[in-house]
Amino acid sequence: MSASITALTPAFGAEIIGVDLTLPLDASTRDLIVDTMNHFAVAVIRGVTVSQDDQVAFAKNFGPLDAINGVLQTDIKRRLSADLVDISNMDEQSNILELDDRRRLFNLGNRLWHTDSSFKRIAAKYSMLHAHAIPPVAGETQVCDLRAAYDDLPKDMKEQIGDLVAVHSIFTSRALLGFDNFSPEEHALLPPICRPLVRVHPGSGRKTLYLASHIGRILDCPVAEGRLLVRDLMEHATQPKFVYTHHWRIGDTLIWDNRCTMHRAMPFDESRFKRDMRRATVMETDVAPVDDQNAVATV
């Protein structure tokens, strides 16, 4: 069966039908997925659960994978392969994490609107989140359309923000939730990174906002003004008209383009239910941060 797509809205969100993640991907199906992502920015492939190896092999068709898949430095054995990010509320023995477990507190940052890895030197292109276990209710994922949000801005705002540069750090988003007990080693691993606030999305040539809760300040702008501006833009971009809500089924793979979307996890009853999600992350290898030197010590 050849693959086909069903649009969820005219410009944002699609379902890709007829792709089996356990089989080698042929060039035409790969191109269809890339074209779909360039236009719709978020897509779901439904199926059965696949192994870690199959998920990793599928993702590698789209580029090299992110190698920094753990921010927390710990001796605890990983539950998943080093190629995958563990987006679950489970420990290494697949038990539900205690509410005050450091891994859970860190992952709670996913509840804030963000784009993946904007705080790393090489940011993320596609995130591919695969559902192994889901709670019976809630625990959705929301994705917002930052190209449509940009288009919808007043002209004077577009002019005001066109050349601004934002400073991203993982420690900024975690501090928003009061989680700040990171070691010097953890800080040293991920220094702040500068990125444009507005950019051209390489896949479509359309302009887009590039926003995340990782932003702590705007370069050459007083901290308060910069943060207020980012808050206003986040509020604008996450209006319901720009948001797709994904209601999970086991075996779903949700793919989003981090270059032109933000996403967040929705709450669920974490003390009772397991939510086992595994993320393969394709890096954006063709875009460097604005200026590493500038970023240091400017969070």
CB nearest Mn ion: which residue? 116
Minimum distance of Mn ion from residue 129's CB (angstroms): 8
Minimum distance of ligand OGA from residue 85's CB (angstroms): 6
Residue 87 touches which member of ligand OGA, Mn ion, none, C-beta under 5-8 Å by kind:
ligand OGA
- If the CB atoms of residues 141 and 261 are measured against ligand OGA, the closer one turns out to be 141
- If the CB atoms of residues 29 and 117 are measured against ligand OGA, the closer one turns out to be 117
Residue 141 touches which member of ligand OGA, Mn ion, none, C-beta under 5-8 Å by kind:
ligand OGA
Residue 129 touches which member of ligand OGA, Mn ion, none, C-beta under 5-8 Å by kind:
ligand OGA
Minimum distance of ligand OGA from residue 162's CB (angstroms): 28
45 pairs with which residues across the strands? 16, 253
Minimum distance of Mn ion from residue 114's CB (angstroms): 6
Residue 252 touches which member of ligand OGA, Mn ion, none, C-beta under 5-8 Å by kind:
none
- If the CB atoms of residues 129 and 229 are measured against Mn ion, the closer one turns out to be 129
Please report, as ranges, the residues that interact with ligand OGA according to CB under 6 A: 87, 110, 116, 127, 129, 141, 263, 265, 277, 279
- If the CB atoms of residues 108 and 165 are measured against ligand OGA, the closer one turns out to be 108
Q: Which of 266, 14, 23, 261 is nearest to 134 (CA)?
A: 266
Q: How far is CA 131 from CA 2, 255, 281, in A?
A: 24, 12, 15
Q: Which of 127, 51, 134, 142 is nearest to 90 (CA)?
A: 134
- If the CB atoms of residues 32 and 215 are measured against ligand OGA, the closer one turns out to be 215
286, 157 in Cβ contact below 8 A? no
Which of 245-267 are b and which e, b meaning 16 or more Cβ less than 10 Å from the residue's Cβ?
ebebeebbbbbbbbbbbbbbbee
Name the CA dihedral angle for 71, 92, 84, 70, rounded to a multiple of 10 degrees.
10
Output the six-digit token pair for 184: 């010097």
Minimum distance of ligand OGA from residue 93's CB (angstroms): 21
Residue 265 touches which member of ligand OGA, Mn ion, none, C-beta under 5-8 Å by kind:
ligand OGA
Minimum distance of Mn ion from residue 253's CB (angstroms): 15
Please report, as ranges, the residues that interact with Mn ion according to CB under 5 A: 116
Which of 56-89 are b and which e, b meaning 16 or more Cβ less than 10 Å from the residue's Cβ?
bbbbeebeebbeebebeeeeeeebbeebbbbbbb
Minimum distance of Mn ion from residue 110's CB (angstroms): 5
Minimum distance of ligand OGA from residue 298's CB (angstroms): 25
- Residue type present at position 129: L
Q: Which of 173, 172, 214 is nearest to 195 (CA)?
A: 214
- If the CB atoms of residues 36 and 115 are measured against ligand OGA, the closer one turns out to be 115
CB nearest ligand OGA: which residue? 265
Q: Which strand (E) or helix (H) includes residue 7?
A: strand 4-7
Output the six-digit token pair for 267: 């709450």
Residue 277 touches which member of ligand OGA, Mn ion, none, C-beta under 5-8 Å by kind:
ligand OGA
Q: Which strand (E) or helix (H) includes residue 223?
A: helix 223-237
Residue 107 touches which member of ligand OGA, Mn ion, none, C-beta under 5-8 Å by kind:
none
